[in-house]
Every structure is written in structure tokens, then in C-alpha cells.
Amino acid sequence: MQTAEKTLDEILNLAAAHFRVPREKLSPDADFFKALGIDSLQTLDLLTRLEQHFHVELPDYELQGVTDFRTLASKIQARL
């Protein structure tokens, strides 16, 4: 199983590439709504891309209240 740090790094890379935000501007504890400038529909898009990348299912209710990359990574790590 891959490490939590690697999971977090892959999420940041994926988000930066897809939403065209410089990778260095994304920090693990950043609010991803603000950092990526995304709305609720784009959040669903991100969720789908993460599920595909990590080959996991992420029930959207588990993401309620999750706003930073580090917590998001922990939710994914728990399903790897």
C-alpha cells in the first residue's frame, strides 16, 4: 500500500494539472475550493477524477465538511 504522503502528493499533482493551478501554489492544508477556484459541480468532477486515479469509491457524504487536501488524502488513504 502506498504511503499517505504519496497519496497527498498525487492529489495535489492531479488537482494542479486538471484545474491549471501552479503546483507550488497548492499546500496540503489549503482550502481546495479557494485554491482551485471550484464550485460544487467542479468538486464532483474532482471527486470522479480521484476515484478513477486511485481506483476507489468515495461516498460523497464522507467528504461533507472536508475542505483541505490533507483531510481529503486521509479519506482516500482509508480506502486504498
Residues contributing to the site for another protein (CB under 8 A): 33, 38-41, 43-45, 47-49, 51-52, 57, 59-61, 63-64, 67
Choose between 3 and 40: whose C-beta lies nearer to another protein.
40
Choose between 24 and 57: whose C-beta lies nearer to another protein.
57
In terms of Cα–Cα distance, which of 40, 55, 44, 48 is closest to 7?
Answer: 55
CB of 16 to another protein, least distance (A): 18
State the helix-helix crossing angle for 69-77 and 40-54, rounded to 10 degrees. 40
CB of 43 to another protein, least distance (A): 6
Residue 6, classed as helix, strand or coil, is helix
